[in-house]
Amino acid sequence: MIYEKLKKTHWNKTKAADELGISRRNLIRKVTKYNLDQRKTPKRAGRNDIAP
Kindly report, residue by residue over 8-26, the tens digit of the pLDDT.
Answer: 999 999 999 999 999 999 9
CA distance 7 to 4: 5
| Residue 42 banded pLDDT, cuts 50, 70, 90 | low
Q: Give the start-to-end residue ranges of the domains of the chain.
A: 2-40
pTM: 0.71
CA distance 27 to 49: 33
Task: Please choose, from the candidates 13, 18, 11, the residue with its C-alpha nearest in 3D space to the C-alpha of residue 28.
Answer: 13
Instruction: Give me the pLDDT at residue 51, please.
Output: 54
pLDDT for 46 beyond 60: no
Instruction: Give me the pLDDT at residue 38, please.
Output: 81
Of all residues in the chain, what percent are helix, strand and coil, respectively (each to 5)? 60, 0, 40
Percent of the chain with pLDDT over 90: 69
